[in-house]
Structure 1
Amino acid sequence: MAVHTAAHHSSGQVLPFRESLMAMLGVSFVTMLVALDQTVVGTALPTIVAELKGFDLYAWVATLYLLTSVVTVPIFGRLGDYYGRKPFVIASIVVFTVASVLCGMSNSMMFLVLARGLQGIGGGMLVGTAFACIADLFPDNVVRLRWQVLMSSAFGIANAVGPSLGGVLTEYYEWRSVFYVNLPVGAVSLYFVWRFLPHLRHVAHEGKMRLDWPGAALIAVTLGALQMFVELLPKHGLSAEIIVYLAVSVAAGYGLWKREKRCDHAILPIDMFRNKALAALFTLAILGGFIMFSLLFYAPLLFQGGFGMSPKDAGLMITPLVVFITIGSIVNGRIVTRLKNANLMFFVGFAFLAISCLGVVVATRNMPRPLLLSFMLMGGFGFGFVMPNLTVFAQQKAGREHLGIATALLQSLRMIGGMIGTALTGTLVSHLYASGVNLALEKDHATHWLPDLSDPQILINLDGQRALLAQLSQAGHDGAALIEAARESLVAAIHIGLAMAAMVAAVSFWQSRRVPPVQLKGPQEPVILAE
């Protein structure tokens, strides 16, 4: 394999414009593959569970995917630093696509859950390497921000069409098609990556590398146990089993920290955490993930379950939040390079997120739709102003040697922040909702109906709701009043949950001052083209 230094073009990119465009299309299709899968599958899940008859494994379809992807992101991020990212991007497409076929062939929930776990490994490999490919292709930060719009657009398109596409495929072509739709996207992305993405490596990583497999195992245990803790906490509270997961995560994390400090070939370079700029950016990634997942997960539940909107209307309300993440990223790329202090975008972004969360907190069923849409729009702009800058700033502060692991860690920490956000907000919402429903049932001497109303999904499932209303009416209760009381309890619970997300946004705004000023333009370092 020939290895030579790739010349930087005057525009701050490794390849000429046409080759850069083709390579970025490949990376964008890969991103679309994962984003599309996550949004499409969610819509089809109730139908899948009904056919495969495995409701007890319902949550694991998403949980095992998240678990395996969170664990593999930092591992493959580091391996990409060592060996170059192209082989792992290709492997991730193959693994993800094969796993999609296995998901579509599932004849039991257990088979589907295991196939989703394999799919998560492919997704983790992809996230751990694809985002860093952009920094390899465009060493100049200003140029990178402009090209990153392609990936943001692919992500935004997938998020915008995913839920509707999932509904159409499930209704007209059976649920298995939601997994088979990944085949053409996977084939196109594989062609572009194989044909146009260069195999880039860095001078410092020439020759044989020793890999820190014990460190990788400790990362897997730390993040895996943490994922189990935050997944089970909302459902079971602080039981002994849940506390054991937390203890294992903390112990493994401490062991990882001690090992990596004295390891010459650490998979997780501890010196990155001593870097004040990176430490501040990693903290903001966790806080940003907390806000993002809380808003994306609980705003739709508020609109459908609390305000009684149809799935279509609730989807329309959420669309500006998702679409304007992409538009915000594009606007950010045009503005941030012209600012003397690029960090200003963090303050603007987190201020928008705080206002968006507060807007949802004060929202009522009678709030004018344009006003509610404007709060969603501000949230999208907020994420668009924060997320791309976190990535670009971290890549610049980490330097070429740690570029892949720094980018992967940022994505992992955002996912961890999201897991913590959904767990804490979910626990709060669950307890407050159950408490409110119980109080309403006590007043009507109907506490034995609590199991039927304890899950807020009854407020969305119209068929189940009609059946319950008939049963309540037969028993001599005012079913409509009890359902309305449940709705009010859900609205109050989600308002308090998202008030916590607004507080996190305010903390993030304050925390942004800890990020040292970032100069987006800087000298370029040589990259190795290993192909």
Structure 2
Amino acid sequence: MLGLCFVTMMVAVDQTVVGTALPTIVAELNGFKLYAWVASSYLLASVITIPIFGRLGDYYGRKPFVVASIVVFTIASILCGMSNTMLQLVLARGLQGVGGGMLIGTAFACVPDLFPDSHVRLRWQILLSSAFGIANAFGPSLGGLLTQNAGWRSVFYVNVPIGIASLFFIWRFLPHIRQVQTGAIHLDWQGAILVALGLGGLQMFVQFLPQQGANLPMVLLGLGTLLVFAALVYWEKRCPQPLIPLDMFKNKSLAALFSMSVFVGFIMFALLFYLPLLMQGGFGANPQQVGLLITPLVVCITIGSVLNARIIVRLSRPNHMLYAGFALLVVACATLSSAQHTTPVPLLIAYMVMAGLGLGFVMPNLTVFAQETAGRSLLGISTAMLQSMRMIGGMLGTAIVGTVVSHYYVESVRKAVPQGEGTTWIAQLEDPQVLVNHAIQSDFMGALFRQGLNGESFIELARLALVSAIHSGLFLAMLVAIVALVWVYRLPRVTLSRSAGSAVQPRTEKPLE
């Protein structure tokens, strides 16, 4: 469990420090157009690898894949820190996503292997939640501190000592538990290839459609993606050992939980990757201040998880915690989508606390409910699918919110500065890098000063445009949270079991008509 805690810390630290450092990274490497891809490449690679290694873990045991994933993740973190262009960083993040997908698909499924009783498991998960909380507590602040004082590359090198510690404990102490298999084992590589093609096509379609419009290449890409998903469904129905057992989606509980995991991923990654840009680019905060402001959000994910573990075992209807969590997310997204640079800091912290508690009330319950419902034979793949759905939601969230932010920012700048039309300096102002890169900003203001223009006023207009654009993205996240809140009604009542045997067949009840 200590080894799994270090694994949890490594994943959590990576998510929090990268989000905080990302505006500075983009400013230095001059690649705001690839802002969303830094997150999306990681998420896309993770989504593809999670079900593959979740299934392999069911077949061969999880320990070898946990060890391999730690090695891949650590090496990829070093490559991220060595990147000299945005494209190199995106590719290295993709490799890091492969390691992250292996980790998520196998490491977190080790817990129910070790503790089949769901009540005992909930108590042990407090240890994982604490590790997650420690990482979250210092992650954003550490990311801001390192970015401001040691450079953004250092935020990736933080993973190296954590990776070494986790590798030692996992290699030395984690038992190699392997489920008994009857008959030959065949991994569904055809299904894996179709998953990769389908999700890759979906990612590119969402990312490029607003820029390219409905031209012939985009129409062909959209149709091709639909055909790949249709082929995936056709193949998985006929495959004797499918990568994604479609029967899981016939289970109303699992289908509802997978849908809610997509919604959670959309909301969480939209907040983690665009709130730092709002504060640094829109409000003018430095990386260290951004880290301090983001810290309450991620810390309260852990606090919410710990409170949830104490509360949910005492509830006759555990589903109620999902209502509470999504309601908090609705309020948090609504308030953050109206925050301004004049908003008092204590009020901003309160908004972050609500968002963190909401995520803390939802995420652990989705995992426990899915493990309760799926049974022993589908334990690994159901856990992996839940995490995959969250990653898909995160991938869509960062891509869609990023597209909305980019579109509305450029439109707002053009409306606010009509006198810049046709000039070279308006193109600089339409790139948000001018708001986070002090060297570019200084050159821009100097160029306008030589033309007799007040560059500072244009910078302020651009900040207001960025704030308004990110507000539009956060409003979209609020709409997704409302849909998720309504969706909880579709989840049949879940009753947590007390024994290993009963964990295989949980009791579920249909909601009242």
What residue number does 2:511 align with?
none
Q: Is the alpha carbon distance of 1:507 and 1:222 closer, same or farther for their aligned partners in structure 2, counting shifts above 3 Å?
A: same
Matches of residues 375-414 of structure 1 in structure 2 within 5 Å?
Answer: 375-414=351-390
Distance 1:496 1:255 in 2: 36
Distance 2:501 2:262 in 1: 29
Letter in 2 for 1:74: P
- Alignment pair present for 1:142 and 2:119: yes
What residue number does 1:517 align with?
493
Contact 1:444 1:477 survives alignment (8 Å): no
Distance 1:363 1:48 in 2: 24
What residue number does 2:42 align with?
65
Between 1:167-176 and 1:340-349, the stretch displaced more is 167-176
Contact 1:230 1:419 survives alignment (8 Å): no
What is the CA distance between 1:396 and its match in structure 2?
A: 0.9
Distance 1:56 1:444 in 2: 21
What is the CA distance between 1:526 and its match in structure 2?
A: 10
Contact 1:233 1:423 survives alignment (8 Å): no
Between 1:327-336 and 1:214-223, the stretch displaced more is 214-223
Q: Is the alpha carbon distance of 1:53 and 1:357 closer, same or farther for their aligned partners in structure 2, counting shifts above 3 Å?
A: closer
Distance 2:184 2:341 in 1: 62
What residue number does 2:164 align with?
187
TM-score, structure 1 length as denominator?
Answer: 0.86
2:59 to 77, 82, 86: 82
Letter in 2 for 1:333: A
What residue number does 1:10 align with?
none
1:471 to 437, 443, 447: 447
- Alignment pair present for 1:229 and 2:232: no
- Alignment pair present for 1:30 and 2:7: yes
Letter in 2 for 1:37: D
What residue number does 1:5 align with?
none
Q: Is the alpha carbon distance of 1:102 and 1:421 closer, same or farther for their aligned partners in structure 2, counting shifts above 3 Å?
A: closer
Contact 1:134 1:144 survives alignment (8 Å): yes
Contact 1:293 1:422 survives alignment (8 Å): yes
Distance 2:379 2:146 in 1: 39
Distance 2:453 2:362 in 1: 50
Letter in 1 for 2:4: V
Q: Is the alpha carbon distance of 1:514 and 1:137 closer, same or farther for their aligned partners in structure 2, counting shifts above 3 Å?
A: same
Contact 1:293 1:421 survives alignment (8 Å): yes
* Equivalences, count: 503
Letter in 1 for 2:324: V
Structure 2 segments unaligned to the other structure (5+ residues): 504-513
What is the CA distance between 1:508 and its match in structure 2?
A: 0.9
1:365-404 CA distances to partner (integer Å, 9 max, x unpaired)?
A: 2222212211110000000000000111011111111111
Q: Percent of aligned pairs with the same residue?
A: 59
Q: Is the alpha carbon distance of 1:70 and 1:235 closer, same or farther for their aligned partners in structure 2, counting shifts above 3 Å?
A: farther
* Secondary structure class of the residue paired with 2:350: helix
Letter in 1 for 2:492: P
What is the CA distance between 1:292 and its match in structure 2?
A: 1.2
- Alignment pair present for 1:318 and 2:294: yes
1:420-462 CA distances to partner (integer Å, 9 max, x unpaired)?
A: 1222222222222211110122157675432111122322223
What residue number does 2:226 align with?
250
Distance 1:214 1:127 in 2: 22
Distance 1:487 1:228 in 2: 28
- Alignment pair present for 1:370 and 2:328: no
What is the CA distance between 1:266 and its match in structure 2?
A: 1.1
1:202-237 CA distances to partner (integer Å, 9 max, x unpaired)?
A: 34x255412222112212212222233334446555
Tell me how large the CA RMSD over aligned residues is: 2.9
What residue number does 2:238 align with?
262
What is the CA distance between 1:92 and its match in structure 2?
A: 1.0
- Alignment pair present for 1:306 and 2:282: yes
TM-score, structure 2 length as denominator?
Answer: 0.89
Structure 1 segments unaligned to the other structure (5+ residues): 1-23
What is the CA distance between 1:249 and its match in structure 2?
A: 2.7
Distance 1:234 1:327 in 2: 39
Q: Is the alpha carbon distance of 1:506 and 1:179 closer, same or farther for their aligned partners in structure 2, counting shifts above 3 Å?
A: closer
* Secondary structure class of the residue paired with 1:518: strand
Between 1:435-444 and 1:402-411, the stretch displaced more is 435-444
Q: Is the alpha carbon distance of 1:428 and 1:112 closer, same or farther for their aligned partners in structure 2, counting shifts above 3 Å?
A: closer
What residue number does 1:153 align with?
130
- Alignment pair present for 1:213 and 2:189: yes
2:75 to 72, 90, 98: 98
